[in-house]
Amino acid sequence: MYFGYDDFRPLQSEIIESVLAGRDTLALMPTGGGKSVCFQIPTLVMAQNDPNKRLCLVITPLIALMRDQVENLKARGIHAAAIYTGMTYDKQRVALDNCLYGPYYFLYCSPERLESEEFRKRLADLPIGMIAVDEAHCISEWGYDFRPSYLKIAEVRALLPDVPVLALTATATPETIEDIQDKLGFHEHNVLRKSFHRENLHYIVRRTDNKPEQLAHILSRVPGSAIVYVRNRKRAQELAEWLNHQSPTTNHQSVCDYYHAGLTTKERNERQEAWTRGDTRVIVATNAFGMGIDKPDVRLVIHYDLPSHLESYYQEAGRAGRDGETAYAVLLFDPQQDSAKIRKRIIDTYPPKEFVESVYHKTMDFLQIGAGSGLGHRFALHIDQLCHVMKLPVLQTYSALHILTQAGYIDFEEEHEAQPRVQILVPRHQLGDYNLSREQAELLDVLMRSYSGIHTDLQYVREADEIGNHQSPITNHQLLVSLAQRGIITYIPRSIGCSLTMTNERQTEIYLSPAIFEQRQARFISKIQSMLEYAEQNQFCREQLLLAYFGETDAVACGHCDVCLSLSAVNS
């Protein structure tokens, strides 16, 4: 009726039946396996059977994914809402009211939203029939992207005791599988999985001491859309520029562009959309790019730098060939350079415990937070400035702040993007005394109509190019600046940076459990070692090694990875 498919993909029907039976379910499906249908269909079925259980709470870490899924559902005639950072209080209230009173079936939010007491109180009143947790590996300390805010999901379950949970992920080791179910408070362990085998995806490792030349060679030999993953932003930009210099633009298609978290939301969206449409052939990106993209015809995913673990490698490589046609996942490997670099990540990611303690106190001093104070306060944190003033190494400081977050002393949010904020200081009836230009008056009128509390407090407003009527971003920004200079408004422009929230008062001493610290470091080292072994070895099928890592120990050789082809040539 809504989705237009003739049949389910493998495993979808089993997952749907498990959810409809009221069972907590962990579903493991490779990228592109159709995870969203597994919670969308049972929600609509449950809504028909019981209107008091018509709503699905979908927890996902990506705002872009929330928006895309909400728009896709609306296009199918299905009401859905999302709550995310940057929405005004009024819009959040309207969205929640719609979910309570209107014929809404899906409410999307981030795991961080669950930390709001007000949001939790509203949840208890909503007709929630199931909870879907996307990217569920994030809840596990064994997973490759542990996010402490995911632990709040178990607390929300206490508010909704009879509501089943569907946890979804594309990658999980046996340890992560157990950890996800325990952390989410499954009533009984229940795992449904689809094999991670990808018949059409060819895994290749290319040994080289000249990666740029090898990259250009591969791109010239394999036509079609491509992603090139790199470790840092500077390399993403430089490599994209170099590739464009090597291959001039043809047929109105840009050869290459770059993508990373330091770009504005508008820039990231524009670049992703150009690549998705095919206007850009190659996107050179950090791991900020990928989750939630819906492009089935990617023919090539190249890892220019060695990932830290096989989980992220498999997930990123799996973005190739989702249409079932032949595709290639290529890892460029310089044995000498890459081995040294990846081992250095151990020190950068898990600096000594004494260093972490030092970063805590130096950060508190830098932010001028006294002992016994700071609880609940949020601060903008400029890492480069902190490291310069306090003489700290940048990479290890980032890692130390993440460790302090996991230990519960702070909540460090990297690359937080703050929307513009505006407060109108002059009462509406006095604005006529200020000899406003037509553009200024129009902009103020839009702000007052859109944000009811804008006279009493700073309000987050939409991106600057959406504020006025047919205004350009530059014009709107200039208008806001001019109004602020005249004392009519307070204007805080959009900013990209890090933030730190104090989840505890400043402590005179902090305690980092040596056991937990050492266990996490040991797990990280083990993952790095597995990644190195995958790249270095040339005796066993690449796919067999990957599948064994994820618990599939009975897989047969793929026959088309570089190792299989090499062994076949030797034996023929």
Express each pLDDT in 494-549 by its tens digit. Answer: 666 788 888 889 999 998 888 767 888 888 899 999 999 999 999 999 999 999 99
Q: What is the CATH number of domain 12-193?
A: 3.40.50.300
Query: For 136-145, 152-161, 207-216, 376-385, which range has the lowest pLDDT when averaged over its residues?
Result: 136-145
Where do we find the tokens 């542990």?
146
- Enter the pTM of the model: 0.76
pLDDT digits (tens, 9 = 90+) for 395-422: 899 999 988 987 889 888 776 556 677 8
For the chain, give the percent of residues with pLDDT over 90: 49
Query: What is the rounded average pLDDT of the residues 26-50?
Result: 87
Tokens of 495: 């900013």
Write the CB contacts of 158 (distance below 8 Å, at least 6 apart in sequence): none
Please, which pLDDT band fits residue 140 given cuts at 50, 70 and 90?
confident
First to last CA, the chain: 53
pLDDT (average), residues 431-447: 89
Q: What is the pLDDT of residues 379-400, one digit of tens each?
A: 888 888 999 999 999 989 999 9
pLDDT at 23 over 80: yes
d(CA 115, CA 408): 14
Predicted local distance difference test score (pLDDT) of residue 465: 43
Q: Which fold has domain 342-418+498-522?
A: Arc Repressor Mutant, subunit A (1.10.10)
Yes or no: say if 24 and 190 are a contact pair by the CB < 8 Å rule: yes
Do 506 and 365 form a contact (C-beta atoms < 8 A)? no
Report the pLDDT value the prediction gives residue 463, as an integer from 0 to 100: 52
pLDDT, mean of residues 257-280: 88
Residue found under tokens 């290639």: 328
Burial, 515: exposed, middle or buried (Cβ in 10 Å; 0-12, 13-18, 19+)? exposed
Sheet holding 298-303, edge to edge: 201-207, 327-333, 298-303, 225-229, 280-285, 254-259
Segment 18-28 shows an average pLDDT of 95
CB 62 within 8 A of CB 125: no
| Portion of the chain with pLDDT greater than 70, in percent | 91
The residues pairing with 328 across neighbouring beta strands, listed in sequence order, are 202, 300
Instruction: Indicate the helix (H) or strand (E) that contains 16.
Output: helix 12-20
Inform me whether the pLDDT recorded for 572 exceeds 70: no
Q: Which fold has domain 201-333?
A: Rossmann fold (3.40.50)
Q: How confident is the model at residue 335 (pLDDT cuts 50, 70, 90)?
A: very high
The mean pLDDT of 366-377, rounded to a whole number, is 91
pLDDT for the residue 88:
67
Integer Cα distance of 339 and 535 in angstroms: 10
Give the domain ranges of the chain.
Answer: 12-193, 201-333, 342-418+498-522, 421-493
HSE at residue 310, side-chain half, CA atoms within 13 A, is 25
